[in-house]
Amino acid sequence: MIKLIPRAENSKAMIILSPIIALTLTALSAFVIFLFILDDIAVSSVFFTLFAEPLLDSYYFSELLVKAAPLMIIGLGLSIGFRAGIWNIGAEGQYVMGAVAGGAVGLYFYNVEGFWLLPLMAIAGIIGGMLYASIAAYLRIKYQVNEILVTLMLTYVAVLFLQAMLQGPLRNPSGFNFPESRMFHDSAMLPIIWEGTRLHIGLIVAILLSILAWFGIKKHMFGMQIKITGSAPRAAKFAGFDDNKTVWYSLLISGGLAGLAGLFEASGPAGQLTPGLPQFYGFTAIIVAFLARLHPVGILFSALLIALSYVGGENVQIDYNLPSSITQIFQGMLLFYFLACDILIKYKVVLFKKNN
Amino acid sequence: MIENLLIEIFIGITIASAPLIFAAIGELLVERSGVLNLGVEGMMIVGALLGFVVISHTGNPYLAVLAALVAGMMIASIFAFLTQFLLTNQVATGLALTLFGLGFAAFAGRDYTEVTIDLIGPIHIPILSEIPYIGPSLFSLNPLIYLAFFMVYLVWWFLFKTKQGLILRAIGDNHDAAHAIGHNVVLYRFMAILFGGAMAGLGGAFLSLVQVPIWGEGMTAGRGWIALGLVVFASWQPFRIILGAVIFGGITVLQLHAQGFDIRISAQYLSMLPYLATIVILVSLRMRLKNKTNRTVPNCLGRIFHSTT
């Protein structure tokens, strides 16, 4: 028989060990899956392409960082809400709305050069994401409607809205009716920080934001407030914390950051608004936030890990004709194992023989 | 002519609402036991795929439906194991289940995107289906639609007319008390989650076996989430699921017909309607309840249970 005995204190060793166990289990499962689906390719070479090549080749490594940046920015915002028990699951929608709002500003000033344009677009992107998330905040406070469902429904709406915009006002006037916007001009494009790659300034912004968030949570009263609201709602009430404020801040911050990430994607790697802009980052960032245990600096690392699986997944698709959806399976499995292994922190697993 | 159109719309509504009824009634039972499973979308898409795969190989609709049911249960068992035995956070685990399910279905279904199948057609109940108007709209429907309505009745009967149903509701409202008087909380919840998975799988299969004869990786298009909304809308009362699903089905059909009538709104705005309607429905529910708290919410919904004894 197996029995779980609660620990008096969380195990410090397990806090570090459990993610490693989860990673090992994911790698083992991936190995078994490959053994089943690969006929005449060595599993080791697929493993190499999937997990090692993105780290060894400088171009793939830059792509890894390109993909990690939006995951970091969105994950940071989500983690703040998750700490307070506010489940913004529709970051993907806020990401799209941020891209549309910021992108529209860039297109409005098409061919107008100026250093002020990018900041303006970024602000528009943040506001776009914030406004979109504020719908969920308002409905939750005014009508107690669950924010999980509202943000999700609005994600589907946002994707449709992007398509409608690209067939209407934002369509490239000389683009042969393709549902795409113009390519952004130079002043509307993010500066590249690594010559010859697509790596843009968004990565630096992400790192700065994570440090800012870390200080905010550690030192600022608001950090305390969201933590207590999430872990002990009754205590938060007695302390006189304003519930509504927590809802507003959580959703506005996560929505704004998702919007910023969307704008960065549009004016960075994509260079225009296209229907292919939503790439599931908003959902994957949920995994990123959890893998980091909602810690702002930890998110930098978990985003890199997940980005590795993205780039690796694309490479195995090209090299071995395996579908890239395999990365989504691994990401889901990783989260499963990770959640499961967390039990080792709070509980001691004891094996014992049954005797009357 | 207008009669035919009305009958067509009526049948369209039943077809659009049936998958939601399946998924929502399963989730309703799960939530009544005190568990919140946000993996409905993932379970649905896996059910849709497995049903499709089986029918494309065997041509046997019974086997296909059975496969979808079992597939839904299998993937739900991951959630059940994690949340009931390893005490994981239900929100996070449910989300993981959805992401995993979508990825799994996209991966496993990659060879089936070009395949078409024969849809499961309606049955005509002898004599009754001959009645004008009522016959074609009530007695010539798809057999799975009758099953959907029957499942609603069955869940209602189980919850409110059987001893086990009473125990399940008690567990959902106070798992510590239910445990103290000797009920097996984990067993009941495990079974409820499996049932929820089976129903979600069936709902998914309805999409790929009755609605469209093809398989696509995004074919559930948020219906699992809408089903979750319907459970809230229904205030955890089984028969109200039908009302919510029919409203939703009505909007879906309306939107399709509007697109056919060449109304000068781009198709995307019309396609938004079902999602916006879900939000409106949830808001209207709260307006109806005013400031009263919703007393039918299972008290232990989403809370982790662990017994030390």
Whether the predicted pLDDT of B43 surpasses 60: yes
The ipTM value here is: 0.87
Would you say residue B234 lies in a domain? Answer: yes
Residue A234 half-sphere exposure, CB side, CA atoms within 13 Å? 0
Number of domain units in chain B: 1
- For residues A24-42, give the mean pLDDT: 83
Assign B294 a pLDDT band (cuts: 50, 70, 90): low
Distance CA(A247)–CA(A243), nearest Å, equals 6
Interface contacts (A, B; CB < 8 Å): 128
- For residues A333-341, give the mean pLDDT: 89
Contact A247, A137 (CB under 8 A): yes
Would you say residue B94 lies in a domain? Answer: yes
Residues of chain A positioned with their CB less than 8 A from the CB of B292: none
Assign B233 a pLDDT band (cuts: 50, 70, 90): confident
User: What pLDDT digit, counting tens, does each position of B85-103 carry?
Assistant: 888 888 889 988 998 999 8
Strand partners, A2: A351
Residue linked to tokens 């496969």: B67
Annotated domain spans of chain A: 1-37+343-356, 68-321
Residues of chain A positioned with their CB less than 8 A from the CB of B102: 328
Q: Which chain B residue has its CA at the smallest distance from A165's CA?
A: B268
Asked if B89 reaches chain A (Cβ–Cβ under 8 Å), the answer is yes
Task: Give the number of other Cβ atoms within 10 Å of residue A55's Cβ.
Answer: 13
Which two structure tokens, joined as six digits, stand for A122? 């970024």
Would you say residue B305 lies in a domain? Answer: no
Looking up residue B105, the CATH number of its domain turns out to be 1.10.3470
Would you say residue B80 lies in a domain? Answer: yes
Would you say residue B298 lies in a domain? Answer: no
Give the 3-state secondary structure of chain B. CHHHHHHHHHHHHHHHHHHHHHHHHHHHHHHHCCCCCCCHHHHHHHHHHHHHHHHHHHCCHHHHHHHHHHHHHHHHHHHHHHHHHCCCCHHHHHHHHHHHHHHHHHHHCHHHCCCCCCCCCCCCCCCHHHCCCHHHHHCCCCHHHHHHHHHHHHHHHHHHHCHHHHHHHHHHHCHHHHHHCCCCHHHHHHHHHHHHHHHHHHHHHHHHHHHCCCCCCCCCCCHHHHHHHHHHHCCCCHHHHHHHHHHHHHHHHHHHHHHHCCCCCCHHHHHHHHHHHHHHHHHHHHHHHCCCCCCCCCCCCCCCCCCCC
Residues, chain B = 309
Distance CA(B185)–CA(A48), nearest Å, equals 45
Percentage, residues of chain A above pLDDT 70: 99
Assign A69 a pLDDT band (cuts: 50, 70, 90): very high
Residues of chain A positioned with their CB less than 8 A from the CB of B97: 332
pTM of the model: 0.89
- For residues B203-223, give the mean pLDDT: 86
Phi, psi of A87 (to 5 degrees): -100, 90
Which range of residues forms the domain containing residue B218? 2-289
Distance CA(B242)–CA(B234), nearest Å, equals 9
Residues of chain B positioned with their CB less than 8 A from the CB of A287: 96, 99
Q: Which chain A residue has its CA at the smallest distance from B272's CA?
A: A157
- Say if the Cβ atoms of A153 and B279 lie within 8 Å: yes
Q: Pick A68-321's CATH classification: 1.10.3110, 1.10.490, 1.10.3470, 1.10.1660.
A: 1.10.3470
Would you say residue B308 lies in a domain? Answer: no
Which residues 222-261 on chain B approach chain A with CB closer than 8 angstroms? 222, 225-226, 228-229, 232
- Say if the Cβ atoms of B306 and A4 lie within 8 Å: yes
CB nearest to B104's CB, from A167, A287, A329: A329
B137: closest CA of chain A, how far (Å): 31
